[in-house]
Structure 1
Amino acid sequence: MSTTEESVAFDSVAQPLRKYAENPSAFLALNSGTEYFLAPGTEGFVAYRTAGGYLVQFGGVFGPEGEQEKLLKAFLEFARAKRRKVCAIQLQRSDADLYARCGFTVNQVGSSFSLHLPAFTLKGSRFMKLRNKISRAKRSGLRIDEVAYDEVAGEIDALDQRWLRGKGRHVKEIEFLVGQCGGPAQRERRLFVGRVEGAVVAYISYSPAYGSRAGWLHDLSRRDNDVSPGVMEAVNAHAIDTFRTEGAEWLHFGFTPFTRLDPGVEVSAASPVTGKFMRFLADHGEKVYPSASQLAYKEKWAPQLVLPEYLAFHGRARFGAIWQILRVTKSI
């Protein structure tokens, strides 16, 4: 069976996510607007969105390992009955192997970056520039607090609008592969804001990450364009201190497309042509997705763990599927 986001109970998808998800970005499956496929007799689900003739699936199959192949094949039958093709984005390596067995063409599309918090420190020459940026931001009068979203929802919305206008009138806000504020999932997120003279000038939203590397996902973030350099870094450093004090193990910076592409991590079901196209986007794709600036921000924290993430097409690779992924994420 398939249900829309509006008709499925939040806990019916949140519970298997907490129990089985290994993907550090799995919480994004709870974004508003996502559809869910659930099969009778299985505990998990598939998260997807419809785009043209495709069902664009996110993050692998969320369910018991022994049921994932059954659920994926049931989803393919569901798509076939709707006369839709299936493609998938942000698969982990274990997902890539499963999808290859089920007839998918699978290619690396980018990488995810994670920081092991118990070993992290900003001391030493390696982080001198980062410390200086944070100090400069604090000297500008920055105050950082963790707050409930409802307390600042209006200010967050206004900041989002200013941020979007600053990107240019043709720029759309990327969806599906980034988080949200508000909605039923908000109660599980954490929100840190930076204020100057009492006004919110920056924020970072963190979502829970589950599985063997449980912790927090550095998710949606925004800042005013005219704030002091280092504001975002200061907010994140404050959150890191909070998470470490609480005993959290990992801070995940999430997925960045078209980065750290490595032919050595491709699976046997990879398409050479798609691989070349991914490398082309890595070199020339800034207008499609701002990978370079995202990568620079993530790398300044010296993440210890970098893992490949994959794109998959049921059957042969189709550039039409890539186009629909770009559409559904509003990257174009």
Structure 2
Amino acid sequence: MPAPTSAESLVLHAVRRHTQAENPSSFLALNSGNEIFTDPAADGVIIYRHTGRFLVQLGGPFAAADSYGALLDRFAAHARALGLGLVGVQLQRADAERYAQKGFTVNQIGASWAVRLPDFTLRGTKFMQLRNKISRALRNGLQVSEVDADQWQDRLREIDGAWLATKGEAPRALEFLVGQLGGPAQTHRRLFLGTIEDRPVGYISYSPVYGSRAGWMHDLSRRIPDGSPGLMEAINAHAIEVFRSEGEEWLHFGFTPFTGLDEDLELPGHSPSFHWLMRFLWEHGEQLYPAKSQLAYKEKWAPELRIPEYVAFDGEASLAGFAHIFRACNAF
């Protein structure tokens, strides 16, 4: 495993230490391909990608409370000096309020979901269908174990290739707002692999979550297209039992755009037209992002916590800024 660079150490320190915004996706800041904005006078970092005419920011500043506002101001000034637009995505509520105070147009863009683990059980009628799917996968020979990703790289790529081949012509693997495997940050992630007759058939990667709802985030997941029903459910159920045995408190299911929308969660000054667009994409936006199927999987686990997530535009909400979020994610 390569030794972390000083930049990676800086980012890891920031997302571990500065958790006031309680962002369950903060570990995505360590993805390769991200850019880092810092200021000598501020304690913290801003993570972003330069995409076309925009800087697309992940979450709010991962910064000390007394540096947060100044770091955001300097980053916004940096974008303006370059003649670029600025849009931030996956802001938490505390971030959203700070951005709105600074004149950004802030709207809810979706939500993330979480299950509290100490009292979690799959017993009861509401989990009957889920138990049946898991049982079917196990009857078909599925075995689940935690593995070292570096030792399985070639086989994981086979799963990735088979999965990506089902996504139509010229498919693209998403980046930025989803996790990745490999690189110096891999030592902090956990990987659970499903095999049938020693053939890898699916995996789920979990990223650490910091703050008062610390635990793990169900992140990158892939499976072969012709595999047994219930593969991913069985892998996740196994991981849950491991996490519970270790005393972990929360399993987060990550951000899904267009879900959990609630007009009561919008902030003063939000864009009504952008709120309408998010509602429209929930109903009709499957070609852009399969939000309904993603939410259906998460709801199988009866998450008890819905965490609203926001987008912030420096200026008015714009379709161009919104589109560049998906461009930063390699969606097109």
How big is the shift at 1:170? Answer: 3.2
Q: 1:128 is matched with which residue?
A: 128
How big is the shift at 1:156? Answer: 0.5
Q: 2:48 is matched with which residue?
A: 48
TM-score (norm 1): 0.96
Q: 1:215 is matched with which residue?
A: 215
What SS class does the counterpart of residue 143 from structure 1 fall into?
A: strand
What SS class does the counterpart of residue 241 from structure 1 fall into?
A: helix
Q: 1:10 is matched with which residue?
A: 8
Q: What letter is aligned with 2:18?
A: Y
Q: 1:81 is matched with which residue?
A: 81
Is 1:197 the counterpart of 2:193 in the alignment? no
Structure 2: unaligned runs, 5 residues or longer: none
What SS class does the counterpart of residue 211 from structure 1 fall into?
A: coil
Q: What letter is aligned with 1:20?
A: H
RMSD: 1.2
5 Å-filtered alignment, 1:1-332, equals 9-21=7-19, 22-332=22-332
How big is the shift at 1:132? Answer: 0.7
Residue-by-residue CA offset, 1:208-240 (whole Å, 9 max, x unaligned): 000110000100000011111111000000000
Residue-by-residue CA offset, 1:281-306 (whole Å, 9 max, x unaligned): 11111000111111000000000100
| Pair 226,319 (structure 1): closer, same or farther in 2 beyond 3 Å | same
What SS class does the counterpart of residue 331 from structure 1 fall into?
A: coil
How big is the shift at 1:7? Answer: 7.7
How big is the shift at 1:65? Answer: 2.0
Tell me the percent identity. Answer: 54
Q: 1:3 is matched with which residue?
A: none
Which runs of 4 or more aligned residues in structure 1 lie more than 4 Å from their structure 2 counterparts after TM superposition? none
Q: What letter is aligned with 2:205?
A: S
Question: Aligned partners of 2:269 and 2:34: how far apart in 1?
Answer: 28
What SS class does the counterpart of residue 242 from structure 2 fall into?
A: helix
Question: Aligned partners of 2:316 and 2:169: how far apart in 1?
Answer: 36
Q: What letter is aligned with 1:215?
A: G
How big is the shift at 1:133? Answer: 0.5
Q: What letter is aligned with 1:9?
A: A
Aligned length: 327
